[in-house]
Amino acid sequence: MSPSPDLHAILALDKPLGITSMQAVARVRRLAGGARTGHAGTLDPLATGVLVLALGKCTRQIESLMATEKRYLTEIDLTAFTATDDVEGERTEVPLGSPGAAAAPPARAELERLLAERFTGTVMQRPPAFSAMKVGGRRAYAMARKGEAPELAPRPVTIHSIALTAYEWPRVALNIHCGKGTYVRSIARELGQALGTGGHCTMIRRTAVGAFTIDRAVRMDALPDRITQEWLDAHGVAAPPAN
């Protein structure tokens, strides 16, 4: 397939479980004949949902797209922490009644109070050890995979709203509306720390990146064998006028 440098669009994918954001980019780039392609914000392999891609001239908009607000659904297991803050890492159990732990499952009202008081607005959040943050020029996840403990300082993030949508011990379901740089996995860990329980994500689904919502996203298995400008015009957002 010959390169297609004249393809230009912004496309929202519904990224499936188990692949990296760069693997999704590589697939679209290949189907688009080698057109320049980038993404506007990483999704973890164990997260699904909206991954916004930019092709051709639209790659100039990646920085502004990354700055937009995001929406997530997540489910949290309060019985254990993990090294990765999700189900990929080894579990460290936190039995109720153990030293330093809660004596009993927290009440729904306590969860709602904590979410409103400590997890809404501009808050300080420590990124996961397994993240793309850089420490001394090295990626934190690369250090963590070698058994090192990267020193990641808390940083301010904005959480516009965080709603408890379901709770049955030890499972919590949240609907999150947040700003750039917020880690959902950190919310799980820090919620567990605040409650005196464990806390890690068992599911993360990004439902919106700015105006790009999950109902507008194209499933990976629905991509055509060859991506053309005509297909992009029908499924994405067209490029700005040429200059």
Cα(56)–Cα(76) distance, integer angstroms: 38
Task: Tell me the pairing of strands 70-77 and 237-238.
Answer: unpaired
Q: Annotate the chain with DSSP letters as a single string.
A: ----TT--EEEEEEEPTT--HHHHHHHHHHHTTT--EEESS---TTEEEEEEEEEGGGGGGHHHHHTS-EEEEEEEETTEEETTSBTTSPEEE--TTSTTS-SSPPPHHHHHHHHHHHSSEEEEEPPPSSSS-EETTEEHHHHHHTT-------EEEEEEEEEEEEEETTEEEEEEEE-TT--HHHHHHHHHHHHTS--EEEEEEEEEETTEEGGGPEEGGG--SS--HHHHHHHSEEPPPP-
Cα(54)–Cα(41) distance, integer angstroms: 11
Among candidate residues 14, 44, 77, 85, the one labeled active-site is 44
Cα(123)–Cα(143) distance, integer angstroms: 26
Q: Is 44 an annotated catalytic residue? A: yes
* Residues acting as catalytic residues: 44
